[in-house]
Amino acid sequence: MGDGKCCVSVIERHASVRRFRGDPVPDEDLRVILEAARRAPSGWNLQPYTIVVVRDAERRREIADAVGGQEHVAEAPVFLVFMVDLAKISDAAAKLGFEARPTLAALVEALVDVGIASAWAALAAESLGYGVVYVALYENPCGVADIVSAGKGTLPVVGLAVGRPAEEPRPRRRQSLDALAHIDAYRGARGDAVLEVYGDRARRLFTYLYGPGGYYGEASLNLLHCLRRQGLAEALEEPPEAQS
């Protein structure tokens, strides 16, 4: 990895792994992966997230069931739960003597930071020869929160299953770079580039995601319910100082 191109080569061969061997992830490797997440860029360097490392097999099984029976969650020796954690931000503010209320900008910032940190963790894991797969936790965030004992001010967003791969999947087709990257200004919607990726499966996918009672609709209801329960719904409201 001394040629300076290790990360590029890892990115080029990335493919989600959903079958894992039983080998444990040694503490030293896990520390490298978590350290990569810790070093990830963060808005204002607040790092408004927490990572719960789930090694316990029974707890991984509970999470797998909570997100629709995804067996790779239970099968992977390590499952990383990346959570928005505005509770620690509120706690820090309270120690300074004032109140830090949840706001939309703070929530979005935390979500962005979760995405960046989890990506750095994934890149580190793959650089060490592990397979990874992302798992959406936002479809049942409160269910996962209960399993990992996450209280008010937190929101599980995404998980990362990590382990030695028991399969060698091929990288999936992506949208063309010309369609994905617009130079200097937005050139307009390129739905064709989205559909080209899926071909004959596009209609079935969009029906599942966006049709009546579809995935995103149900996940949105679960998210709203959990935001209220976790004390984060205030972030969706207009801040008092902006009201006339």
**How would residue 139 be classed by pLDDT, with cut points 50, 70 and 90?**
very high
Residue 48 · residue 113 · CB < 8 Å? yes
Residue type, 92: A
Residue 53 · residue 30 · CB < 8 Å? yes
Domain boundaries, the chain: 6-172
CA-to-CA distance for 138 and 115, rounded, in angstroms? 13
**How would residue 64 be classed by pLDDT, with cut points 50, 70 and 90?**
very high
DSSP tally for the chain: helices H, then strands E:
11, 4
Section 8-17 average pLDDT: 92
How much of the chain exceeds pLDDT 90, in percent?
Answer: 92
How much of the chain exceeds pLDDT 70, in percent?
Answer: 96
Q: Quote the Cα angle for 107-138-163, to 5°.
A: 110
CA-to-CA distance for 8 and 12, rounded, in angstroms? 6
User: What does the pLDDT read at residue 1?
Assistant: 43
Tens digit of pLDDT for each residue in 174-199?
A: 999 999 999 999 999 999 999 999 99
User: What does the pLDDT read at residue 7?
Assistant: 84
Quickly name the fold that domain 6-172 has: NADH Oxidase (3.40.109)
